[in-house]
Structure 1
Amino acid sequence: MADSVRSAAPGRRSDVGESGGDRLVPDPDHQGAWIVRIGGADQSWLDPSDPTRLEFDYMERIADHLDLHRPAGERMRVIHIGGAGMNLARYVTATRPTSPQIVLEPDAALTEEVRRKAPLGAHSGIKVRAVDGRTGIAAMREDFADVIILDALAGARVPAELVTTEFFAEVSRVLVADGLLVANVTDSAPLTWTRRVVAGLRATFAEVVMEAESATLKGRRYGNIILAASSAPLPVTDLVRRCAGAAFPFRVVRGGNLTKLLTGCVPFTDADAVASPGPPTGGTYFS
């Protein structure tokens, strides 16, 4: 996997459709690469000729989890909640060619544009369903997926219905016994919203870790936060090493430190959940 060359824009992608205009535009600085641009913001980046190049740092952190969960070349069934340019789905296909994948992406127009301009391979194993994450997961059978990746925003906010204890119970049902959920969310200090999401994950899964750049954890800026959860042990030592050695280092919060962070936090439920905080108005909010 190539070194990350830019930090991600937390307002990148959408779990709801947006109409009008091309949203997959050529990257003028990298021949053959494309930028998913929605509402004037660069939300995703892909190079169909090199799907292992993950330009945004948060995608590299998700890829760390994939690579540590199952070695390269080992088949795994993956569900993606949120598709955009299908960067991570392409990464899985490149590193694990026989892996079946389902992408839940309600924006059918964007999916069609991606297929037209940056088509998937004929035998990619990637199937796209034009449904939202909650609907798509509910339709999955029990013990279906090895990994579920949650990377969906409505505008610049993570939808409320994707962070509740009821939804996490559905995710747990769909995952195999040692399956992994890895999510990209966005927040800023004092991380009140994210802490409630993590509390919900801890109420559902035996193991949970949180990763972010120090500036985000310390409240100096709005940014991407990676959450990982499983009913099986997570490879914490290897995760810490990879996060620390990244071009944009992330810190891993786990165990007692995570317990302390969650003091007094109550998980979101379907009755009281809210979407994640949006980026600061007029600010720069690259993680």
Structure 2
Amino acid sequence: MAAMGRSNRADRGTGRGRTAAQPQPAATGPGGRTHAQGPLSRPVGSGLAELRPDRDRPAAWSLLIDGAPQSMVDLADPSHLGFEYQRRLGHLIDLAAPPGRPLTVLHLGGGALTLARYVAATRPRSRQQVAEIDTALTELIRTELPLERGWQIKVRGADARSVLERTPEGSVDLVITDVFSGARTPAHCTTVEFAALAARALAPGGWYAANIADGSALPFARSQIATLGAVFPELCLVADPAVLRGKRFGNLILAAAHTPLPIADLTRRVATDPTLARVEHGRPLTDFAAGAVPATDTTATPSPLPPPTAFS
């Protein structure tokens, strides 16, 4: 959930690059917390949660946990993805099936439920399950930033891996992992065994996608590429070139599948974004991860702590 990069402020409200179905209007308007009520801070299981009004969008709110930006929700337009890492995951959601076709999605990590809202808005009748261990955070989000009636989104207050272990084989079209404890991904959600559980849950032709964070020499990202490569034959990575060069700490999106990924379409969509990014796959991705060792349940460590300046 932690968003190390910039929000897509330059593209707010434009919807550039989207070909998915238009969101369905809320039956009773956006509802929920209004900007007139001001920001809100409340202790939750994972730390101090803050909801801050967005200065450019009158129904939008950013969620922070202990000062780390997690996600942004626009109650009036749930198809808007304000953080660059969520926009890149949105491209994968758009390409997972023809526009408007419902999907069955498992979200590991919920936060403000931004991506679940996006799927529900752009792909009506989709069935979604969210694993979010912080039940106090979920209660806060449901109260202050409520979901629209009719959306088929079930939130389970449980550990992401435990929910994945109980997911029936071949039952979901898309598994999205966005699991952070504070600003770090827990070790048990970064292993070959975890990836194998995700592969087991996927229906034929399904995709796995993950948001991770790393910096400097990118040892964690390289290990995650090797880890997914031990389970899935098809991989790609999307990230800011500055992050790939180790110039700054930031988010990287990994996608994996047993069938070829739509690299050309993904590259075109990423090129429409207001923030620069590269799509790596094939030999360049293999070379990028050369020498990295897959993480296992006995060797894995959490993702690295971001530097003190990551959120400044």
Same fold (TM over 0.5): yes
- For the residues of structure 1 that align with 2:131 and 2:174, how far apart are their CA atoms? 14
In 1, the alpha carbon distance for the partners of 2:68 and 2:56 equals 17
Q: For 1:94, what is the secondary structure of its paired residue? A: helix
For residues 183-212 of structure 1, the C-alpha deviation after alignment (integer angstroms, 9 at most, x for no partner) is: 110001211111111101111011000111
Q: Does 1:5 align with 2:9?
A: yes
Give yes or no for contact 1:200–1:268 (8 Å, CA) kept in 2: yes
**1:19 CA drift (Å):** 5.0
SS of equivalent residue, structure 1 residue 44? strand
1:17 equivalent to 2:45? Answer: yes
Correspondence 1:172-211 to 2 at 5 A: 172-211=199-238
**Secondary structure, aligned partner of 2:229:** helix
Give the Å deviation of 1:148: 0.6
How far 1:243 sits from its partner (Å)?
1.6
Say whether the 8 Å CA contact 1:78–1:101 is kept in structure 2. Answer: yes
Partner of 1:27: 54
How many residue pairs are counted as aligned between the two chains?
274
Instruction: Kindly indicate whether the alpha-carbon contact (under 8 Å) linking 1:195 and 1:265 is maintained by their aligned counterparts in 2.
Output: yes
CA contact (8 A) 1:222 1:285 kept: no
Identical columns (%) = 42
Check if 1:134 corresponds to 2:161: yes
**Contact 1:211-1:225 at 8 Å conserved across structures:** yes
Superposition deviation, residue 285 in structure 1? 5.1
Determine which structure has greater relative contact order: mean sequence separation of CA pairs < 8 Å that are 6+ residues apart, divided by chain length. 1
Residues 202-221 of structure 1 aligned to structure 2 (within 5 Å): 202-221=229-248
Match among 106, 118, 125 for residue 91 of structure 1 = 118
1:68-87 maps to which residues of 2 (within 5 A)?
Answer: 68-87=95-114
| Whole-Å separation in 1 of the counterparts to 2:51 and 2:208 | 28
Any idea what the Cα deviations from partners look like across 1:210-269, whole Å, max 9, x if unmatched? 111010001110001000000011000111112223110210111011111222211000
Contact 2:47 2:65 in 1 (8 A): no
1:109 — aligned with what? 136
Out of 260, 266, 269, the position equivalent to 1:239 is: 266
Separation of aligned partners in 2, 1:129 and 1:160: 21
Partner Cα separation in structure 1 for residue 150 and residue 269 of structure 2 = 31
Once residues 239 and 96 of structure 1 are traced to their aligned partners in structure 2, the CA distance between those partners, rounded to angstroms, is 18
In structure 2, give the amino acid aligned to 1:211.
Answer: V
TM-score (norm 2): 0.84
**Cross-structure match for 1:13:** none
The secondary structure found in structure 2 opposite 1:195 is helix
Q: Which runs of 5+ in 2 are unaligned?
A: 1-6, 12-43
Aligned partner letter, 2:228: L
Kindly state the Cα deviation for residue 139 of structure 1 after the two structures are TM-superposed. 0.8
User: Within 2, Cα distance between the matches of 1:284 and 1:133?
Assistant: 25
SS in 1 for 2:179: coil
Say if 2:178 and 2:210, in contact at 8 Å, map to a contact too. Answer: yes
Moved over 6 A (4+): none
- Opposite residue 169 of structure 1, the aligned amino acid is A
Structure 2 residue identity aligned to 1:277: P
1:128 to 1:157, Cα distance in 2 relative to 1, 3 A = same
Partner SS, residue 278 of structure 1? coil
TM (norm. structure 1) is: 0.91
Aligned counterpart for 1:155 among listed residues 168, 174, 182: 182
The gaps in structure 1 that reach 5 residues or longer are 8-15
In 2, the alpha carbon distance for the partners of 1:6 and 1:42 equals 18
The equivalent position to 2:283 in structure 1, one of 256, 262, 280, is: 256
SS of aligned partner of 2:9: coil
Q: Does the 8 Å contact 2:47/2:182 carry over to 1?
A: no
Give the superposed CA RMSD. Answer: 1.8
Give me the whole-angstrom Cα distance separating, in 1, the residues matched to 2:79 and 2:47. 30
Alpha-carbon displacement from aligned partner over 1:79-119 (angstroms, at most 9, x marks no partner): 10111110110000001110000010011111111111111
CA shift for structure 1 position 29 = 4.3
Distance 1:151 1:221 in 2: 20
